Amino acid sequence: DTAVSQTPKYLVTQMGNDKSIKCEQNLGHDTMYWYKQDSKKFLKIMFSYNNKELIINETVPNRFSPKSPDKAHLNLHINSLELGDSAVYFCASSHNRAANTGELFFGEGSRLTVL
């Protein structure tokens, strides 16, 4: 039973389209995240939600809009896709927003390719 699951795992789309990636965790965690791994392999945080409240927003273009309907779900919607959005997007969750341990549980990633 997957702890942090993301769908879809692969997504190929045209520039200008709008797409969403969904994430669900069954670990009972309060905090969820979206990280982006670009072509240079940098894993960078984009957003973090704690109990449906946005707590981290890392200078991400406003074409990216996270939505957390409840604490077990954090979806990522991307408008007007650009070539530079091509990356692997990882969802993650953790027990505690205070980062006392920093132990995150990651999903398998969603590879987005924008043509």
Partner 1 sequence: DQQVKQNSPSLSVQEGRISILNCDYTNSMFDYFLWYKKYPAEGPTFLISISSIKDKNEDGRFTVFLNKSAKHLSLHIVPSQPGDSAVYFCAATTTGTASKLTFGTGTRLQVTL
Which parts of this chain interact with partner 1 (CB under 8 A)?
4, 31, 33, 40-45, 48, 50, 55-56, 58, 90, 92, 94, 96-109
Q: Is the dihedral of CA 40, 45, 76, 6 positive or negative?
A: positive
Measured from the CB atom, is 37 or 86 closer to partner 1? 37
- Residues whose CB falls within 8 Å of the CB of residue 11, separated by 6 or more in sequence, listed in order: 19, 21, 110, 111, 112, 113
Name the residue nearer to partner 1 (CB basis): 66 or 107.
107
Q: Could you tell me the two tokens for 72?
A: 């077990």
Q: Which is nearer to partner 1, 14 or 101 (CB)?
A: 101
- As measured in angstroms, the least distance from the Cβ of 19 to partner 1 is 20
